[in-house]
Amino acid sequence: LNGTAVTSPEANDLEYLTPVTIGNVTFHLDFDTGSADLWVYSDELPTDEQTGHAVYATTDSKLLPGSSWEILYGDGSSAGGDVFADTVVVGGLTATMQAVEAAATLSAEFERDAHSDGLLGLAFSTLNMVKPQKQSTFFDNVKSQLDLPVIATSLKHGAPGTYDFGFIDENKYTGPLTYVDVDSSRGYWTFTADAYAFGDDQISTSLTGIADTGTTLILLPSDTVSRYYANVSGAQDSPLHGGYVFPCDSKLTPFTLVVAGNHSVTVPGELINYAPVGSVSNLCFGGIQAASGLVDINIFGDVFLKSQYVVFDAGSQGGPRLGFANQ
Ligand SMILES: O=C([C@@H]1CCCNC1)N1CCCCC1
């Protein structure tokens, strides 16, 4: 059995939300290939923090005795609580004894997110934060039902896309799929590009980072980012806006990763114009920004992933790997 779930972007493609049924309640969760916990808003939160969200009824649920969870994300946000076992359905696929992590505390960033009802982690289960015993991700729990141990993402700019589980949909991409090996030793979908390019200007330096559906932008080393915006007239690193901004009518340089020897994975300039900074100024915020001090790795987030049909292959032909094709 395989499955497909439709995922829909919030305003400015800030995050993509996908319906997940837990017990008999449907939650809209942020699928996150950069973490490995499935957590949801719950009745253990202060009532005002539950308002507007689907809420997990812990009083009707099967507790995992003695288990708890606490996560600090690289963007500084955090959440924590206790753990239950429940039936979780995504895109027609069912995990009967899925660890569902009920939020009892949320940081301000999550309290401000009026739309997401929680996260569904799709990184490797070694990254799960439940104690005393790590729990398996939804993907690990359904993997044995799938034809192939793969998740394939089709995230789009300003339009619904899909998460395919167990199969690769040839109708969703053009040209060949190019695969690159993944180093899963830190629990992320980490890969290395042999070189990268800003437009026609190739830089023969390797770039290692993670494919992270839960991060909005592309986050790179600050000197690399400054070199990119040197190509964009009128661009400036604005403390007021928290990163690089430029005139909204700028023609942005494409960003290319060179992988698997000589295959180019290119993000068109248009996708690097992330969004206007506000309703009055004609400044736009860049889709490539510097990784914050908290995070010491590069993150290829949604701005990157939107240009590709991406196959997160956990080992259909040996080790874990990522496949990229234009969509
Ligand atoms: O917390 C995160 C991200 C935050 C946004 C959502 N995806 C997971 N990490 C990924 C990069 C290394 C540090 C941990």
Q: Which of 208, 299, 305 to mutate to test the pocket of ligand 1 (most atoms within 8 A of CB)?
A: 299
Looking at the chain, the whole-number percentage of residues with pLDDT higher than 70 is 100
CA of 77 to the centre of ligand 1 (A): 10
Tell me the mean pLDDT in the region 161-174: 98
Q: What does the H/E/C string look like for the chain?
A: CCEEEEEEECHHHCCEEEEEEECCEEEEEEEECCCCCEEEEECCCCHHHHCCCCCECHHHCEEEEEEEEEEECCCCCEEEEEEEEEEEEECCEEEEEEEEEEEEEECHHHHCCCCCCEEEECCCHHHCCEECCCCCCHHHHHHHHCCCCEEEEEEECCEEEEEEECCCCHHHCEEEEEEEECECCCCCCEEEECEEEECCEEECCCEEEEECCCCCCEEECHHHHHHHHCCCCCCEEECCCCEEEEECCCCCCCEEEEECCCEEEEECHHHHEEEECCCCCCEEEECEEECCCCCCCEEECHHHHCCEEEEEECCCCCCCEEEEEEC
pLDDT at 73 over 80: yes
Q: What is the mean pLDDT of the chain?
A: 97
Q: Which ligand 1 atom sits nearest the alpha carbon of residue 210?
A: 11
pLDDT confidence band for 294 (50 / 70 / 90) = confident
pLDDT confidence band for 168 (50 / 70 / 90) = very high
Model ipTM? 0.95
**Of 37, 212, 302, 313, which residue is the catalytic one?**
212
**Of 30, 32, 164, 302, which residue is the catalytic one?**
32
CA of 291 to the centre of ligand 1 (A): 11
